[in-house]
Amino acid sequence: MESRLTDLEIKVAFQEDLIDTLNLTVARQQQQLDLLQAQFRALYQQVRNSASTAAEAGPQHEIPPHY
């Protein structure tokens, strides 16, 4: 009986360690996801600003096709 109890305690200890490890992994991945989303928003805004600037410049600032 005591052997079974010890085995269960060992299994619980390993499961708690695994849960802690998985929790840290998920938290780290969430931080990476948040960073990637912020970078994507910044890049999207930069592209939108570039497109607006290019549209405002008009054809008079374009290089002729023979260049």
Closest CA to 1 of 28, 43, 9: 9
Domain boundaries, the chain: 24-53
Q: Would you state the pLDDT for residue 54?
A: 73
10 versus 64: which is more confidently predicted?
Answer: 10
**11-65: pLDDT as tens digits:** 999 999 999 999 999 999 999 999 999 999 999 999 999 988 877 766 666 677 7
Element (H, E) at 46: helix 2-57
CA distance 27 to 24: 5
Q: Would you state the pLDDT for residue 1?
A: 85
Cα of 3 vs its chain's centroid, Å: 45
Judged against a pLDDT cut of 70, whether residue 67 lies above it is answered with: no
pTM listed for this prediction: 0.64
CA distance 13 to 7: 10
CA distance 1 to 4: 5
